[in-house]
Structure formats: structure tokens, C-alpha cells
Amino acid sequence: MTNQLAIVNNESVYYDNGVFFCDNIDLKSIPEGLSKKFDILMISRKSNTKRFHPINLKKIKSSSNIFAYLFTIFKTLKNKKNYLLISITPYTFFAYLILFIFRKKVFVYLRSNGYEEYKAILGFIGPIFYHIMYTVVTFKSNIITCQKNLTKKKSTLISPSELDINWTKNTIRPLMDKPRLLYVGRMRIEKGVFSLFEIFGEITIDVELSIVGKTHKLETDNKKINFLNFENNISNLIKIYDNHNMLILPSFTEAHPKVVDEALARERPVIIFEDLNQKIQNRQGIFVSKRNADSLSQTIEFIMKNYLKIQEDIKKNILPTKQEFVSQMTKILS
């Protein structure tokens, strides 16, 4: 009999015409990948707003409030053998309390630094709030993490990835008439994209920034910034990378951002800010800028002048693959 696994998360999913959609690619790739070895039930929050990625999964339960969410958890207690909590949030915190009381086997997957994320969102009280949740949820859980410094407790390290053979074949040289920067991600404070908009309001060099993400609520009169419509398929996303000559990741905190590996797979240099300097390691082709217009301009100009040499260095990277990631996760959960 196939092992049963409930994936419990804080993400919001949108239901339309028999299909659920999400914004976070992890909430698509992890359940889909694990469904080959497990009978998966995904438990999420309900969204009334359209989302990007269709989730190819038969069993998904979405709840419009925390009481319905926890009741859904409660109804699984007789059937589900193991539980995978993705990230530590108020929703997954209360879910864990129920699972702990009923002595269920729980795995928790730490994808990012919650202390830094909650500080970016709530200020000085954020890390205190997160620490309480972290201490409780990791008390008896099996911890899976994508970076060693996310926990001091015993854990299993994995390498998240969305890369398959399509990402590394038929790479092409980009247009080099001017810097064409790309941001791929969600519009959230901790992702640093709003501070990036402020920087682009001060930058004086001839440069373009394209945004791929959930942008329908954003407005800007900065002619240097473009918002791209995105058809949800890999070939379309690869073309978007190929139409730009570098990626920028303005986040204040990240653990293992997949967009970095995607850009490097297409031989595109990556710019990060000092906040991430110690967190993205062992990659050729990543450049660190201070979070201001002058420093970013200098970094961009350096990359443009040394582009061919940088591309040769990027080719030396050994990048993780999606197949390896799913195999690692499957082995741990089994």
C-alpha cells in the first residue's frame, strides 16, 4: 500500500474549474514530485485571487479561515501516517500542536530564515514571535532544511531545485546593447523588490528592469521598469531569462533561492545585495552590491564589461537538479 503523507502549509491556493493554483513554485513541485511515491493530501489556505501555477494533484483541501484549516487537520488524524509541514507560520504552528497532542510523526521543512523574514515584516518583535513558534514546532519534529544555518538542531540537509535538462540545453548569448535586468519572484516586503523600485528611481545609467511575478496590483511611472505577462510553462520562463542579460535578487533574506540556479543554468550573471552575501555560496557568477543606486550601477557596469569571462566562470558551476531534490526528499520521508 502506498504510504500516506499530508503536506501542511501556509500558502494560499486558488480553485478554478477543477484545478488548484498557487504562487509559490515549491507548493507545486514538492507535492507533485512526492506523489510518485506517496498518497498525498495537501492542506492549504483558500484564496479568492488568481494564482500562477496549476497544481497537478488529486487531493487538495483549502480553508478560508484558521478554524476550518485546523478542523481539516483534525479529520486526517485517523488516516494519515506522516505529516510534512512546509515552513513555520501561525497556521502550521497550530497544526503542529494538534499533531503533537495526537503523537503523529511530523517532518518540518525549513526553506528560509524565519527570524529575518518576521523582522522584515513585524520589526523588532518579529524574531521573538518566530522564536516561540520555532521552539515549539521543532521540539519533536524531524527537521529538513536547505541551509545549515537555519537551525542549530539536528537536521537533514537537502538541495532544492527546479532544474531539468531543458534549463541547460541550447543556451544563447543575450543582447548586450544595454543592461537588461530581470527579477523573478513575489511582491513581498522581505523580497526587497520595493526597495529595488526606490533604487531605480535614483539610478542614472541606461538600464531596464523587468518584473515577472504577481504584479497586477502594482503601479509605477518609472520607464525603466517593465512588468511582463507570464504564461506558466518552463519554455516561456527560459525565454524570459534568455531575453535578459542578468538577474537581480533584492531579497533581505533567502535560504536557497531557486531563481539563482535558474539564471546560472542559462549562463546569466546574478546580482544580490549585501544582506545575502554570506548565504549564497559556492556559485560562480554571483556579484554583491550595496543597496544604493551608485553601488548597483558600478556592479552592473562591471558585469557588462566582463561578460564573456563571467559566462566562462558560470559554466564551471555544478547545479542541483529537480530529480535529485525529489529523490532526497522521498528518501527522508520514507
Which of 84-93, 250-259, 305-314 is the least confident region? 250-259
Instruction: Identify the pLDDT of residue 280.
Output: 67
- Given a cut of 90, is residue 324 above it in pLDDT? yes
Instruction: Give the mean model confidence (pLDDT) for residues 30-36.
Output: 93
Instruction: Identify the pLDDT of residue 1.
Output: 46
The tens digit of pLDDT for each residue in 138-184 reads: 999 999 998 887 888 999 999 889 899 999 999 989 999 999 999 99
The tens digit of pLDDT for each residue in 107-132 reads: 999 988 888 888 888 898 999 999 99
- Given a cut of 90, is residue 290 above it in pLDDT? yes
d(CA 246, CA 260): 10
The tens digit of pLDDT for each residue in 61-103 reads: 999 999 999 999 999 998 778 999 999 999 999 999 999 999 9
* Amino acid sitting at position 153: K
Identify the top-confidence range among 104-118, 179-193, 293-307: 293-307
Domains detected in the chain:
3-161+323-333 (3.40.50.2000), 165-314 (3.40.50.2000)
| Beta carbons of 265 and 247 less than 8 angstroms apart | no
Instruction: Identify the pLDDT of residue 99.
Output: 96
d(CA 159, CA 320): 6
Among candidate residues 64, 44, 66, the one with its CA nearest the CA of residue 53? 44
Mean pLDDT of the chain: 90
Residues above pLDDT 70, as percent of the chain: 95
| Beta carbons of 230 and 212 less than 8 angstroms apart | yes
- Given a cut of 90, is residue 279 above it in pLDDT? no
Instruction: Identify the pLDDT of residue 218.
Output: 59
- Given a cut of 80, is residue 214 above it in pLDDT? no
How many Cβ atoms from other residues are within 10 Å of residue 302's Cβ? 14
Instruction: Give the mean model confidence (pLDDT) for residues 232-238.
Output: 84
Instruction: Give the mean model confidence (pLDDT) for residues 44-62.
Output: 91
